Amino acid sequence: MTRVLRATAAELEAALRSLRAGELVAFPTETVYGLGADAGNPAAVRRIFEVKGRPAHHPVIVHLPGAGRLREWAREVPQGALLLAERFWPGPLTLVLPRAPNVSDVVTGGQDTVALRVPSHPVAQQLLAAFQGGIAAPSANRYGRLSPTRAQHVREELGAEVKVILDGGDCQIGLESTIVAFQGRRARLLRPGAITAAQVRRVVGELAVGADEVSPRVPGSTAAHYAPATPLTVVPAAQIDSQAEALSAGGRVAVLAWRAPLAPHPDAVWIDAGRDARQYGHDLYDNLRTLDKSGCRRILVQDVPEGEAWMAVRDRLRRAAAGAGLEDSPEADAT
Ligand code: TXA
Ligand code: MG
């Protein structure tokens, strides 16, 4: 059972004071924890990039208290976007829309679009309702690393730099929001998440999938992202036992699977994450953190089933495989 915590009045007050002073606040959302700054204060938003170690041209999502604020940030809101906001906000959906003239280049990475989202987590709602302005926030992890799904993950990674970390418990979803961009009236899925392509299609009709050459840039869609430090390989489902066996000859091996091993592997740290896509996604980053810390030289992931329910998980695993172990490599940070 996910326990959702609420912020006390004193915690909320401290967070608001920080935001108003141009400082950063980490806060929970239903997807992952965010590293927030006043979206109307370019110097404060710049500080996010410093702390994350993220290249400055990457755009960030602006979090709003409600869809009523959309027009303060987007100069055009196509009918499809409005319908999606009505249907899924507050919730794990981000809309990329033409930006309003007042939105800073630091927020948009200099692009003509802005990403907007109304999160449903009660603590995020408390904070946004009290702050009133937009809060710019990427996931509260160092650039290219796993997104945090508990306050403890943020403390471990950014505790030295971020004074206020609101603890809202374990994130209910555990994977980043679904991102849908609009070019005119045409909708395009830029990042899969808990809200599936089919759910979006039911509202907007047609939906293109994946980036094309005219899509806005989504650095989260570069290969080397959401990665543990330990090299990670996705292996065909039926080969997970034999590959774990073969690799463990050279030392301990970490395994993330959706079932128990066929026979005990004495040299494997084996996590059975189960066959339920939602639960698997919820636990994914936490499981990868655990395996990353297990002292194994390699993480093997049993490939997940086909089908839309697994789309967001498959997407994050592919990126984790591309980015894992590249911490010190310049290519990992090239985008
Ligand atoms: O669930 C989430 O979306 C979490 C929580 C904290 O809200 N946030 C999150 O932020 O995942 P971040 O920065 O780690 O990923 C946001 C993605 C990035 O890939 C970024 O490039 C993309 O959104 N994005 C932001 N503004 C954009 C824009 N104007 N056009 C295209 N993509 C944009
Ligand atoms: Mg991120």
> Which ligand has an atom closest to residue 175 CA?
1
> How many Å apart are CA 293 and CA 203, to the nearest integer?
42
Q: Can you spell out the DSSP letters for 75-120?
A: S---HHHHHHHHHH-SSSEEEEEEBPTTS-HHHHTT-SEEEEE---
Residue 224's contacts (CB-CB under 8 Å, 6 or more residues apart) are: 144, 319, 322, 323, 326, 331, 332, 333, 334, 335
Q: Give CA angle at 113 (71, 47), nearest 5°.
A: 95
Exposure letters 43-81 (e unless 16+ CB within 10 A, then b): ebbebbbebbebeeebbbbbbbbebebbeebbeebbebb
pLDDT at 194: 97
Q: Which atom of ligand 1 is nearest to the CA of 58?
A: 21
Which atom of ligand 1 lies at the shortest distance from residue 140's CA?
6
- Name the residues around ion ligand 2, CB cutoff 5 A: 139
Predicted confidence at residue 219, as pLDDT, reads 53
Taking the C-alpha atoms of residue 208 and residue 189, their distance in angstroms, rounded to an integer, is 6
Protein residue whose Cα sits closest to atom 18 of ligand 1: 220
Nearest ligand by distance to the CA of 225: 2
Ligand of minimum distance to the alpha carbon of 49: 1
* CA 137 to centroid of ligand 1, rounded, Å: 8
pLDDT the model gives residue 56 = 85
Q: 202: how many CB neighbours lie within 10 A of its CB? A: 11
Contact 28, 124 (CB under 8 A): yes
For residue 335 the two structure tokens come to 């985008």
Instruction: Please name the residue whose Cα sits nearest to atom 13 of ligand 1.
Output: 138
The Cα–Cα gap between 81 and 317 comes to 29
The pLDDT assigned to 125 comes to 97
Question: What number does the ligand 1 atom closest to the CA of 34 have?
Answer: 6
Q: Residue 105 corresponds to which tokens in the numbers above?
A: 């280049």
Mutate to test the pocket of ligand 1, among 61, 105, 123, 215 (most ligand atoms within 8 A of CB): 61
One pLDDT digit (tens) per residue for the chain, 335 residues: 556 778 899 999 999 999 999 999 999 999 999 999 999 999 999 999 999 998 888 999 999 999 999 999 999 999 999 999 999 999 999 999 999 999 999 999 999 999 999 999 999 999 999 999 999 999 999 998 999 999 999 999 999 999 899 999 999 999 999 999 999 999 999 999 999 999 999 999 999 998 765 555 555 555 556 789 999 999 999 999 999 999 988 889 999 999 999 998 888 999 999 999 999 999 999 999 999 999 999 999 999 999 999 999 999 999 999 977 754 433 333 23
Residue closest to 124 by CA, chosen among 38, 30, 215, 237: 30
pLDDT of residue 17: 98
Cβ distance 136 to 39 under 8 Å? Answer: yes
Is the CB of residue 281 less than 8 Å from the CB of residue 174?
yes
Strand, coil or helix: 224: coil
Q: Counting atoms of ligand 1 from 1, which one is nearest the CA of 108?
A: 29
Whole-number pLDDT of residue 250: 80
Going through the chain in order, the beta strands assigned E by DSSP cover 25-27, 34-38, 61-63, 93-98, 113-117, 135-136, 164-165, 178-183, 186-191, 208-209, 232-235, 253-257, 268-272, 299-302
Q: Residue 71: what pLDDT?
A: 96
Q: How many angstroms from the chain centroid is the CA of residue 312?
A: 11
For 179-204, how does the pLDDT look when each residue is reduced to its tens digit (9 = 90+)?
999 999 999 999 999 999 999 999 99
CA 178 to CA 197: how far, in whole Å? 9
Lookup: tokens for 276: 């339920």
